[in-house]
Amino acid sequence: MKQKILIGIGGGIAAYKVCEVISTLFQAGMQVRVILTDSAQQFITPLTVATLSRHPAYTDADFWQPHPRPLHIELGEWADVFVIAPLTANTLSKLSYGTADNLLTNTVLASQCPVLLAPAMNTEMWQQVAVQRNWQQLLTDTRFHALAPGYGLLACDRVGAGRMAEPTEIVTGVQSLLHTQGKRDLLGKRVLISTGGTREYLDPVRFIGNPSTGKMGLALAQAALHRGAIVTLVHTAVEWSVPSGMRAIAVVNAEQMQQAMLENFPDADLTVMCAAVADVKPAEYSKDKLPKRSLPQQLPLAPVPDIVAELGRRKQSYQRLIGFAAQTGDIITPARQKLAQKKLDAIVANPIDRTDAGFGSNFNQAIFLDTQGRQVEIPQCSKLQLAHHLWDFVHGL
């Protein structure tokens, strides 16, 4: 059965970005219905969103037409997830006070599904005491889930807070809510995650590394954030941008990653060592690029810090430590060995020699193991789905 997404579009220039959200969700096999406020129609047309969603758009004009059942009731009961983007200061105020004076606000009150909010407005507007009061008040209702505005260049040429979350973030938020159905089971938990492949440099242009893109760790961070966690992400140089709402620490090599992880580990309730850390590094580093003729025929190597083992030694009774084991062939035996040797609470045995899984892919598959003897196999799915399955598994620790 197709998942049903209802999108309410407010009157702001960021409305054009929602077109990408509609198209992406439809192409992912979901049913999409769209409500346009009167002011939203000053920016995009009903024809545009109807074409992208393959279904007529709803406006306030439709609200006042006869229907077999009241339109706001029908739409509210239909939706699995309700997205409001851009959320304007006007609509935010109405929702915080329970006002219902158009199709969008009536449908919110007539629904029970999770509501994903993506505000967008000028920096001065966003920072007004009244707007922040309304925002905080609205978020006391557990139905509402926030994609806080980011920092950047706004349509008014101001650089500051108020930029709507990017379409990819909104789509990810929708996918998370479809899995969790709105539960915040990591609320208040401090989660520390490492991701990406470290680079151990021989000179300024040559390094020992691996193909890890950091996508799995990013998905873990996003899933934890959507479930209410306070997230710190230690990541290597990557092509993606870190979503707003989490603390990000960029590193390059294993030594830098170790320092960042050890500094933040004491405050973490849950730590996931997802990064692909190099096992060795060049024994010597040249600050100048080495001529090809000067490259050694046999490269002297030195070990790098075993970060996860050190975290295991420092782990306190209230902390949980989860590792990853990227393997080819038999993935379970080495994962079980690592689980015991590194003093982990759980481990993700991750095959990297299968089609469309592991390094660089948007998909993954794994077997979860823990010290209690549990073993759960997760078939191929998106990395975000795998991340949510892992957080579900962690609840049993």
- 149 and 231 in a single domain? The answer is no
* 257 alpha carbon, distance to own chain's centre: 21
- Using one digit for the tens of pLDDT, what is the confidence trace for 58-89? 999 999 888 889 999 999 999 999 999 999 99
Beta partners for 302?
281
- Using one digit for the tens of pLDDT, what is the confidence trace for 264-276? 999 999 999 999 9
Paired tokens of 118: 């993506």
Question: How many domains, in total, are found in the chain?
Answer: 2
Residue 185, in any domain of the structure: no
258: pLDDT strictly greater than 80: yes
Q: Among this protein's residues, is 156 annotated catalytic?
A: yes
- 150 and 264 in a single domain? The answer is no
* Mean pLDDT across 95-120: 97
pLDDT of residue 355: 76
Among candidates 362, 309, 318, which has minimal Cα distance to 340?
A: 309
The region that residue 44 occupies, defined by phi over 0 for left and psi between -120 and 50 for alpha, beta otherwise, is beta
383: pLDDT strictly greater than 80: yes
CATH number at residue 256: 3.40.50.10300
- Using one digit for the tens of pLDDT, what is the confidence trace for 192-205? 999 999 999 999 99
Among candidates 32, 10, 113, 102, which has minimal Cα distance to 62?
A: 102
**Burial state string for 63-74 with b = 16 or more CB within 10 A and e = fewer than 16:** beeeeeeebbee
Q: Write down the pTM of the prediction.
A: 0.93
DSSP 58: B
In this prediction, residue 366 has a pLDDT band, given cuts at 50, 70 and 90, of: very high
Question: How many beta carbons lie within 10 A of that of residue 264, not counting itself?
Answer: 17
Rounded to whole angstroms, the Cα distance separating 168 from 331 reads 32
- 203 and 277 in a single domain? The answer is yes
pLDDT of residue 73: 96
- 136 and 273 in a single domain? The answer is no
- Using one digit for the tens of pLDDT, what is the confidence trace for 115-127? 999 999 999 999 9
First to last CA, the chain: 32
- 288 and 333 in a single domain? The answer is yes
- 280-282 and 159-163 as β-strands: parallel, antiparallel, unpaired? unpaired
pLDDT of residue 155: 82
In this prediction, residue 190 has a pLDDT band, given cuts at 50, 70 and 90, of: very high
In this prediction, residue 380 has a pLDDT band, given cuts at 50, 70 and 90, of: very high
- 18 and 134 in a single domain? The answer is yes
Structural domain ending residue among the three candidates 180, 212, 241: 180
237: pLDDT strictly greater than 90: no
175: pLDDT strictly greater than 90: yes
239: pLDDT strictly greater than 80: no
Rounded to whole angstroms, the Cα distance separating 37 from 221 reads 33
pLDDT of residue 187: 95
- Surface-to-core class of residue 218, CB atoms within 10 Å of its CB (0-12 exposed, 13-18 middle, 19+ buried): buried
Catalytic residue among 19, 156, 274, 381: 156
pLDDT of residue 352: 85
Residue 17, in any domain of the structure: yes
242: pLDDT strictly greater than 90: no
180: pLDDT strictly greater than 90: yes
Lowest mean pLDDT among 6-15, 210-219, 248-257, 346-355: 346-355
* Mean pLDDT across 325-348: 95
Whether 393 contacts 376, CB under 8 Å: yes
Q: 395 CB contacts (<8 Å, ≥6 apart)?
A: 185
* Mean pLDDT across 302-323: 96
* 242 alpha carbon, distance to own chain's centre: 9
Give me the chain's average pLDDT, please. Answer: 94
pLDDT of residue 25: 98
Q: 114 CB contacts (<8 Å, ≥6 apart)?
A: 81, 82, 143, 144, 145, 177, 181, 182
- 286 and 344 in a single domain? The answer is yes
pLDDT of residue 324: 96
- 253 and 365 in a single domain? The answer is yes
- 196 and 173 in a single domain? The answer is no
43: pLDDT strictly greater than 80: yes
Structural domain ending residue among the three candidates 180, 211, 240: 180
Structural domain ending residue among the three candidates 180, 201, 233: 180
Residue ranges making up the domain that contains 124: 4-180
Quick one: CA dihedral 222, 397, 234, 274, positive or negative? negative
pLDDT of residue 162: 83
- 9 and 100 in a single domain? The answer is yes
Strands (E) in the chain, as ranges, are 4-9, 31-36, 81-87, 115-119, 144-146, 150-153, 159-163, 190-195, 200-203, 206-208, 230-236, 247-251, 270-273, 280-282, 301-303, 320-327, 346-351, 363-370, 375-382
